Structure 1
């Protein structure tokens, strides 16, 4: 959790920037399927909080809302060019800090251990009770 908090600090200027980054990142991850209801469900956000965040992002010209081509009641979300730059720049700041910290504070062996630990954490994140192979409980 400490590393996550530090990455957030390094990637953003303030807590409001972090909230914007969370929503922008979710839109980026969902791509063509990004709608307010998909984001609210997958990101665990209340619809009122998400609506406020989307209004703020749209006012800053970081996202674009377009009616769904098949169901005009739905709205699709995508990053604007400015939104993509904002997200990319924030990610790059966090990555630069992490790269520098790893290079300056870890030995070659510790860096290799970190890579192996990352693979293990990926496996843990993929866990769901339904995905447990027989005999591994």
Structure 2
């Protein structure tokens, strides 16, 4: 690796992909698909939304999103209600069980990550990780 943008992009993509999979091992006890987890996360962050809005935000077809939303509704994690602004449409929102799933999943993932960061990295190395995260934040901003 020579520090080129291409090498850096590859390293970031590979490492973040592996980190994401490891986090998922610790927080996805319900074995949801990535699309289903995306629905829960987005509803938690942004509140109730239509299937069309969720599809646009996740960059997928509305039919695919409808399947993902239907699956989490069947599991009791999401519900559909009439849109308060347009009774012809429906909005999806987290149920109390869905909110609990998101909250406990985040806590489990964060707990695992904090544990391995504490065990495997020195305080100085953790500071380097924080510096790298600040740089990545500039990329995504």
Which TM-score applies when normalising by structure 1?
0.83
Shift of 1:81: 0.3
**Aligned pair 1:22/2:45, yes or no?**
no
**Aligned pair 1:118/2:133, yes or no?**
yes
Between the aligned partners of 2:137 and 2:112, the Cα distance in structure 1 is: 21
Q: Please state whether the residue corresponding to 1:66 is helix, strand or coil.
A: strand
CA contact (8 A) 1:11 1:93 kept: yes
After TM superposition, the structure 1 stretch with the greater mean CA deviation from structure 2, 21-30 or 99-108, is 21-30
Shift of 1:15: 4.9
- Who is 2:12 aligned against? none
Q: Map Cα deviations across residues 46-81 of structure 1 (whole Å, 9 max, x no partner).
A: 222211111111122111211112211221221110
1:49-128 aligned at under 5 Å gives the runs 49-126=64-141
**Unaligned stretches of 5+ residues in structure 2:** 1-16
**Unaligned stretches of 5+ residues in structure 1:** 127-137
